[in-house]
Structure 1
């Protein structure tokens, strides 16, 4: 996955797409081929990634949607977020704009026995429309997402992780050779508590992907241990722990 790291600084959320040229059939086929290279957080969870025109969804932006389906067990939402984060960065590297379209629904809620989880709206965009100064993105400051011993080269970058519903519900605590990653509660705006809990678990998968990219970039070896919690849990809890070297 390390080849995705540079695109952390390029990607942005395309809430509005500029004019775009449609994908050719060859370009669509190439994208689908890349789906196979996506690394899961939990390989035991069955997933499927589809590329469909927006007309097969309720999405009204972009040209196509990437649909992530999964069996519903364990950390399946974190797993979907972890996989979607890789797709988001991969697309940025190809000058394809992307938006995590949380409110969207596909025409097909179930595919091959797997339930729909989330979609990414996409369209080709001019290279100039991507982020030029990533520090202008609105993100929590380091002291709100990192506690304990400092790892500034990691913390300063990982805080730019995108959030499916923009709540940025993550916190890292470092003690010695151990990192604990927490899901924390925060403001949810007009979104219902149930939906926030749902998207926060996807967000945590996105964050774990970015954290691991940052650790790898700094040549910090790590061993991950995932934790699973009741989906209805609203309090702060540990999502994952890392032993680093």
Structure 2
């Protein structure tokens, strides 16, 4: 299965075989990360591949491998991390390797940060799945296309199937007269803002990655100086497909 097809079949994996992946596969994963496209090439970012001995978790399960993701703090740095590593998430699942974004897992006291100048952002688990990594498209619990955009544009369908924190799906798209699109992030109330709100910018990068994967030759992202405002939402950027 190719990466583009995986968008419509992927599902987060929370049950793993504890047998580690072989070294050749790990090296291939590292090569893919190195070649992944950033949303903002001016942001420095990094990752570290660790085991469960170096993370603390509120979950009742663990995985053989974890990626700790780091970044310098610049405009759209969380979106950039989501964009880069959702490409990896799709790559892994296209190879029947389970993966999952984890907001509740972070480095523990055993972890020795190799790059303390950068901020820890989020974790991804991965490994051989104990269950299937794929599902049928009708099994997705997602908002209808017309609920996330001002015009039900089939080009935006890949964004509809992106994962997000607690399936909050915080994105909304509008069409501009020049053929570009704006993407906005929903403003949640005080409680959600303090919980899933800190991960929702990552979700924006994740859904943009789906649009990039399906439009590699034409996708282009930038930030307008004076964008149109949308009530209840925060402007995140403008892109071409």
Q: TM-score, normalised by structure 2?
A: 0.84
1:25 paired with 2:23, answer yes
C-alpha separation in 2, matches of 1:237 and 1:109: 36
Residue 186 of structure 1 and its aligned partner are, at CA, apart by 4.7
1:144 paired with 2:121, answer no
C-alpha separation in 2, matches of 1:109 and 1:163: 29
Deviations 1:30-89 (A, max 9, x none): 322322112111111111122111211114421110111111121110011111211100
- Give the secondary-structure state (helix, strand or coil) at the position aligned to 1:10: coil
Match of 2:119 in 1: 115
C-alpha separation in 2, matches of 1:172 and 1:109: 40
Equivalent residue runs for 1:163-242 within 5 Å: 163-176=164-177, 177-186=179-188, 192-216=192-216, 221-226=218-223, 235-242=232-239
Q: Structure 1 stretches of 5 or more lacking a match?
A: 229-233
Match of 2:132 in 1: 129
**What RMSD in Å do the two structures reach over aligned CA positions?**
2.5
C-alpha separation in 1, matches of 2:240 and 2:28: 36
Q: What stretches of structure 1 move > 3 A for 4+ residues in a row?
A: 18-21, 108-111
Q: Structure 2 stretches of 5 or more lacking a match?
A: 226-230
Between the two proteins, the alignment pairs up a number of residues equal to: 228
Instruction: Go from structure 1 to structure 2 and tell me whether the alpha carbon gap of 1:168 and 1:222 turns closer, same or farther (over 3 Å shift).
Output: same
Q: TM-score, normalised by structure 1?
A: 0.83
